[in-house]
Structure 1
């Protein structure tokens, strides 16, 4: 079973929070797949990750390219086994995966300002708990991510 962390965004935009978390993965020589709920979001995150200030560089690409196997970070909308061998799965915009157990760690990021996103995250939490995954809940606080409950 995967270790799934639910990340409740309350202070920063998705692209900035995602960049910092992805930066930690890449700094540890890890590989990640970012699964988006919509193509427009995937394209927006692709563009944003080239310009975020922290970390100042995140090598990545859109899934489906010739160099997928070399990319530390892939972004896509299809629930696939990514060609880069990712062990970290990032779920954004309510994206869901039937492949959770294939990853060492899953990070489910959701916008706390949108009640529908919070409700959907609660439903994903219940489903993941029922499936036997190890769950943690993180919320943005004044000093960064705070583990709750």
Structure 2
């Protein structure tokens, strides 16, 4: 069964939250697709993942490269699974893909300070529940540590 995790971002950015989550995915041996909503945003995330920390490296590529199938992390803007990923991250209000059940885990990062993002996340939550996915909601505590909420 597909597990869907909703990460409610407040006073934090995708740029701060995404890299550690990607690191944890790679530590578990998972391949990942990160879907955003525009080429410009995918390019910005691509640049950020090369430079977000001096002492770390996240091997990745965009969907444009010829060897996307060989990459542990692929940044994309459309549905599809170019690298046979186990996990799909959805950022910037990217829609839940039609093949969501083909992933072990889906992770939706949404901006809790944006009413439109909140509405889209609520709609995705309802859709995931109706499809029988195992859905969890995560929010950072005052120290910035992720806590599962009910």
TM-score (norm 1): 0.93
Q: How far off is 1:41 after superposition?
A: 1.2
Q: CA deviation at 1:12?
A: 2.1
* 8 Å Cα contact 1:42/1:76 also seen in 2: yes
* Alignment-derived partner of residue 56 in structure 1: 56
Q: Secondary structure at the match of 2:85?
A: coil
Partner of 1:8 in structure 2?
Answer: 8
* Cα RMSD for the two superposed structures: 1.4
How many pairs are equivalent? Answer: 148
CA distance in structure 2 between the aligned counterparts of 1:55 and 1:76, rounded to whole angstroms: 25
Residue 108 of structure 1 aligns with which residue?
108
Distance in 2, matches of 1:102 and 1:117, equals 24
Describe the shift of the 1:25–1:37 C-alpha distance in structure 2 as closer, same or farther (beyond 3 A): same
Query: Is the counterpart of residue 46 in structure 1 residue 46 in structure 2?
Result: yes
> Shift in Å at residue 54 of structure 1?
8.0
Matches within 5 A, 1:12-91: 12-53=12-53, 56-82=56-82, 84-91=83-90
Residue-by-residue CA offset, 1:19-41 (whole Å, 9 max, x unaligned): 11001011222110001122221
Structure-1 separation of matches of 2:116 and 2:66: 37
Residue number in structure 1 paired with 2:130: 130
State the match for 2:149 in structure 1: 148
Paired residue secondary structure (1:66): coil
Q: 1:110, 1:143 → 2: CA distance?
A: 16
Query: How many Å separate the matches in 1 of 2:105 and 2:135?
Result: 10
Structure 2: gaps of 5 or more residues: none
In the TM superposition, residue 64 of structure 1 has moved relative to its aligned partner by 2.9
Any conservation in 2 of the 1:11–1:140 contact (CA below 8 Å)?
no
Shift of 1:140: 1.6
5+ long unaligned stretches in structure 1: none
